[in-house]
Amino acid sequence: MAGEGASAGADQGGAPGAAGDHGDSAGSGPGGEGGAGGEGGEASNYTAAQIERGKVIVRAEALCGGCHTGTGGAELGGNPTFAKSTLPAPNLTGDATGIGDWTDAQVIDAIREGVDDEGRHISPAMPYWLFHNMTDADALSVVAFLRSLPHVSAEVGAANPESAAVPALSPSSLPDTTLAATDADYPAAVHGKYLVSGVAQCVRCHSPAGQPPVADFFTGAPPPNNTVIFPSNITPDLTTGIGGWTAADIVTALKQGKSKDGVTLCGSMPSAGKGYGGMPDADAHAIGVYLTTIPGVSKPSTAPGLEPACPPPTP
């Protein structure tokens, strides 16, 4: 799919219910149906707060530009070389070659249901199965931000080939925080679970299967072949995971790209300037509270300490 941290609650989407329960109606509020006559909306249809929240999600949490912005291209103007050109990532700007003719409901259906404006299922490389859990407020905020972007005229690859639908990720399948509901940090943990099950993509990388069916959540993925950089175990197991880390350590990892011991995080972890650096402090803290209070799982093959130090930057 930056800004200053706000209260981690209803203002930023809050925690959703079970899959399929998206909270407030996506059709309510400014721009709910994408403008008069069902045509694509304009940025003026949305509030400044919606656009700002959408910017946070797109740029610093869901990281939509990682797929939908080509090298040297305009932001979210499409990426013809995504997946080695076999699956171009489409233009998400309001131009007619992008989502200009889509209604807000159609854009939200693509984000959360994996269905395009012609009713075809899109590839699960687009993690709609995770974004399915995004609240109506957050989904509409994403639309608001996309409508605010400069229009880019860019036909990106061939028409979307229809894919088989995959099941949505059920938040109930993820581990719950072990905090008591009376704990002061419990609301943050609940919000953190929402963020990692409906907005950010921690599940996608740090679980053995990259898309449903997903199991062994957050236990990492063993190094494939001779690869030495891999998604590590981020459950709070004391020996093979992040046991001993605090929520503040997670915030540092997300926003600065540094481990608890000050080691730079390598590989494709989109921390710091790669994306998560712009995450609001409140959201980063919520993710930290959640990850440090779920049950630890021992998985030696994915222990963070197995990874070597990052190579020095190229001059």
Say how far apart CA 212 and CA 132 lie, in whole Å: 12
Say how far apart CA 167 and CA 177 lie, in whole Å: 24
Residues 6+ apart with CB under 8 A from 210: 204
Q: Domain boundaries in the chain? A: 20-148, 171-306
pLDDT by residue, tens only, the chain of 315 residues: 433 333 333 333 343 333 345 654 333 333 333 333 335 566 678 999 999 999 999 999 999 999 999 888 999 999 988 876 678 899 999 999 999 999 999 999 999 999 999 999 999 989 999 999 999 999 999 999 999 999 999 888 665 667 889 999 999 999 999 999 999 999 999 999 999 999 998 988 898 876 666 778 999 988 776 667 788 999 999 999 999 999 999 999 999 988 898 888 877 788 877 789 999 999 999 999 999 999 999 999 888 877 766 666 655
Query: Is the Cβ–Cβ distance between 24 and 137 less than 8 Å?
Result: yes
Say how far apart CA 90 and CA 154 lie, in whole Å: 9
Which CATH number does the domain 20-148 belong to among 3.40.190.10, 1.10.760.10, 3.40.50.150, 3.50.50.60? 1.10.760.10
Query: Is the Cβ–Cβ distance between 207 and 222 less than 8 Å?
Result: no
pLDDT at 308: 67
pLDDT at 306: 78
**SS3 readout for the chain:** CCCCCCCCCHHHCCCCCCCCCCCCCCCCCCCCCCCHHHCCCCHHHCCHHHHHHHHHHHHHHCCCHHHHECCCCCCCCEECCHHHHCCCECCCCCCCCCCCCCCHHHHHHHHHHCECCCCCECCCCCCHHHHCCCCHHHHHHHHHHHHHCCCCCCCCCCCCCCCCCCCCCCHHHCCCCCCCCCCCCHHHHHHHHHHHHHCCCHHHHHCCCCCCCCCCCCCCCCCCCCCCCCCCCCCCCCCCCCCCCCHHHHHHHHHHCECCCCCECCCCCCCHHHCHHHCCHHHHHHHHHHHCCCCCCCCHHHCHHHCCCCCCCCC
Say how far apart CA 207 and CA 201 lie, in whole Å: 10
Burial class of 76 by CB neighbour count within 10 A (0 to 12, 13 to 18, 19+): buried
Q: Identify residue 287 by its one-letter amino acid code.
A: I
Residues 6+ apart with CB under 8 A from 18: 170, 171, 172
pLDDT at 299: 92
Query: Which of 81, 131, 63 minimizes the C-alpha distance to 274?
Result: 63
Burial annotation 97-126 (CB, 10 A radius, 16+ → b, else e): bbbbebbbbbbbbbbbbbbbeeeebbbbeb
Burial annotation 141-158 (CB, 10 A radius, 16+ → b, else e): bbbbbbbbbebbebebbe
pLDDT at 178: 98
pLDDT at 219: 93
Q: Identify residue 72 by its one-letter amino acid code.
A: G
Query: Is the Cβ–Cβ distance between 236 and 242 less than 8 Å?
Result: yes
pLDDT at 228: 73
pTM of the model: 0.84
pLDDT at 102: 96
Query: Which of 161, 148, 159 minimizes the C-alpha distance to 75?
Result: 148
